[in-house]
Amino acid sequence: MQLTPQAHIQYVAELAAKRSYNEPEFLQAMHEVLDSLVPVLVEHPEFIEAGVLERLIEPERQIMFRVPWLDDQNKVQVNRGFRVQFNSALGPFKGGLRFHSSVNLSVIKFLGFEQVFKNALTRQRIGGGKGGSDFDPHGKSDEEVMRFCQSFMTELYRYIDEHTDVPAGDIGVGAREIGYLFGQYRRLTGRHESGVLTGKGKGWGGAEVRTEATGYGAVFFAQEMLKRTGEDIEGRRAVVSGSGNVAIYAMEKIAQLGGIPVTASDSSGYVVDERGIDIALLKQIKEVERGRIADYAERRQGAHFVANGSVWDVPAELAFPCATQNELDERGARALLDGGVRIVAEGANMPTTPEAITLFQKSGILFAPGKAANSGGVATSALEMSQNAARDRWDFDHSEARLQAIMRDVHDACYVASERYGRPGDYVLGANTAGFVTVAQAMIEQGVV
Ligand code: NDP
Ligand code: 2IT
């Protein structure tokens, strides 16, 4: 006899808990998706029959490798490298590489799992994967970063190519790292294979708007949510966490649309700038000088730095968590609600804890989960792959228009699914179900593999 949807989900959750007992981030991401799926399985009992869930929670392949490199003192350093190829039913594995001291298998698996559904939502025919290393780029010289990237790629190159697996950036991996990784791939293979990585330099295959895409996309998504309630970004204050790629371009788009981003942060604390963050100054400090956020307050009149505080204590109507996982907990959520927040859109992956999400949902504010709101980055990576395959190059305005249209479609797909499964405006339910159905259908059509 077939299990009921509830019992089946319970069975799969227990299976994962047993196998992945030491992977808390992965289990957190998995539960968030499974918790949404009862109404889908009621409608599609064939997904239970075909073992879709059991297959989805197990990566197709996970690769771990040693990354030895020489630091500037000629001392041997050893890091651990990862690539988790999670699901390729919709296309080649696609997802970023993260270089951060906190990286372990659990973190990479949670990111790869999220990526599967996110990529499905973009409708760009890309599967999901993620990789990275516990290498910490902070304080490393350019030469050290280059030697590390070369060693990392010397192992990774045998598992990737434009049709198999296409990495990109994430925390700690930006244009500089993608350049070094691509150079080593080219040297090892003897091929200039543009489509093997995205986020490349614009002079050698990189797409316009890829740098801006995640942050801009998150703001476009928020704009679509507000549109439904007849509201707008103009004139509204925004708290943004982080000061990296996603945060900077979220702030830039908020400002372009007439909003006022008043905060930025990094792992040492946050700055408040009531006049609105000076984006050019922030880019200079973070992108050019690779400095700390405290430097911003020192160079900008009227701004102040709060060491180790919670950015969520700053009142605003819009909130964009754009730093890292679980950075917005229940206490932070309460502070945001007390400060009058109307909308929370996740630029980062899984930045909001489950308890904080529940609080937002109970309070009736608009909440956009990362797998929908931050999908503009990977969607634009897919546009980069298209341009590489066609040996074509689109201009900035065309590329931004494509991104905006994709974010509108992702929003609408989530909203329609939230209505279909009984909770209109619940974007967590909408994103999980819409993404899941797309992948599940492809998996069924392709048989038990
Ligand atoms: P960056 O490396 O450019 O910036 C990361 C920012 O977050 C930095 O300000 C960093 O501060 C801060 N941060 C990182 N880890 C922590 C931590 N443990 N505690 C406090 N602050 C932290 O990364 P991105 O902007 O690319 O990525 C930010 C988030 O967005 C991540 O969750 C990523 O997965 C997600 N994302 C990124 C996409 C992309 O295209 N880049 C696409 C979709 C999602 P510090 O320098 O002090 O570490
Ligand atoms: O989390 C993400 O979606 C990314 N880091 C971007 C992945 C990509 O392949 O562009």
Give the DSSP letter string of 151-191: HHHHHHGGG-BTTTEEEE-BTTB-HHHHHHHHHHHHHHHS-
User: Collapsing DSSP states into helix, strand and coil, what is residue 85?
Assistant: strand
Q: Which atom of ligand 2 is nearest to the CA of 380?
A: 10
**CA atoms of 14 and 32, how far apart (whole Å):** 14
Which ligand 1 atom sits nearest the alpha carbon of residue 349? 32
Distance separating alpha carbons of residues 114 and 350, to the nearest angstrom = 9
Mutation pick for ligand 2 pocket among 94, 100, 115 (CB with most ligand atoms within 8 Å): 115
* Tokens of residue 244, six digits: 């990296």
115 lines ligand 1 (CB under 6 A): no
Please give the distance, rounded to the nearest whole angstrom, from the Cα atom of residue 388 to the centre of ligand 2.
17
**DSSP E strands: which ranges in 24-162?**
61-70, 76-87, 93-99, 128-133
Instruction: Collapse the DSSP code of 96 into the 3-class scheme (helix H, G, I; strand E, B; otherwise coil) and give the result.
Output: strand
Torsion of CA 268, 271, 277, 278, to 10 degrees: -70
Beta-carbon count within 10 A of 38 CB? 16
The ranges assigned to domains in the chain are 1-58+424-449, 61-191, 213-364
Atom 42, ligand 1: residue with shortest CA distance: 377
State the pLDDT at residue 1. Answer: 65
The pLDDT, as a whole number, for residue 174 is 98
Cβ–Cβ under 8 Å, residues 215 and 259: no
**Fold match between 61-191 and 213-364?**
yes
- pLDDT attached to residue 2: 77
Closest CA to 392 of 145, 109, 107, 195: 195
- Picking from 449, 436, 445, the residue whose alpha carbon sits closest to that of residue 119 is 436
Cα(366)–Cα(343) distance, rounded to whole angstroms? 5
Ligand 1 neighbourhood includes 352 CB (under 6 angstroms): no
Residue 373 structure tokens: 């709101």
pTM of the model: 0.98
* Other residues' Cβ atoms within 10 Å of the Cβ of residue 195: 18
Report, as residue numbers or ranges, the catalytic residues: 130
| Residue 133 bridge partners (DSSP) | 81, 99
What separation in Å is there between the alpha carbon of 251 and the centre of ligand 2?
19
Mean pLDDT by 10 residues, the chain (449 residues): 91 97 98 98 97 98 98 98 98 98 98 99 98 97 98 98 98 98 98 98 98 99 96 97 98 98 97 98 98 98 96 98 98 98 98 98 98 98 98 98 98 98 98 98 98
pLDDT value at position 146? Answer: 98
Amino acid type, 218: A
Of ligand 1's listed atoms, the one at least distance from the Cα of 264 is 9
CA angle 419/354/347 to nearest 5° reads: 75
> Which numbered atom of ligand 2 lies nearest the CA of 381?
10
> In angstroms, rounded to a whole number, what is the distance separating the alpha carbons of residues 239 and 223?
15
- In sequence order, which residues have a C-beta less than 8 Å from that of residue 358 and are 6 or more positions away? none
- Which of 3.20.20.70, 3.90.1300.10, 3.40.50.10860, 3.40.50.2300 is the CATH number of 61-191? 3.40.50.10860
> Left, alpha or beta for 67 (phi > 0: left; psi -120 to 50: alpha)?
beta
Q: What is the DSSP string of 318-383?
A: EEE--S-TT-B-HHHHHHHHHTT--EEE-SSSS-B-HHHHHHHHHHT-EEE-HHHHTHHHHHHHHH
- What tokens does 370 get? 């990362």
Please, what CATH class does the domain formed by 213-364 belong to?
Answer: alpha beta
In the 8-state DSSP scheme, what is residue 285? Answer: I
**What letters, b where the CB count within 10 A reaches 16 and e where it falls short, cover 324-349?**
bbbbbbeebbebbbebebbbbbbbbb
| Cβ 432 under 6 angstroms from ligand 1 | no
Q: Transcribe 198-261 into DSSP letters.
A: SS--GGGTPPTTHHHHHHHHHHHHHHHHHHHTT--STT-EEEE---SHHHHHHHHHHHHTT-EE
Question: Domain 1-58+424-449 class?
Answer: mainly alpha
User: Which residue's C-alpha comes closest to atom 3 of ligand 2?
Assistant: 378
Q: What is the C-alpha to C-alpha distance for residues 380 and 399, in angstroms, rounded to an integer?
A: 8
58 alpha carbon to ligand 1 midpoint, in Å?
26
**Ligand 1 atom 10: the closest Cα is on which residue?**
266
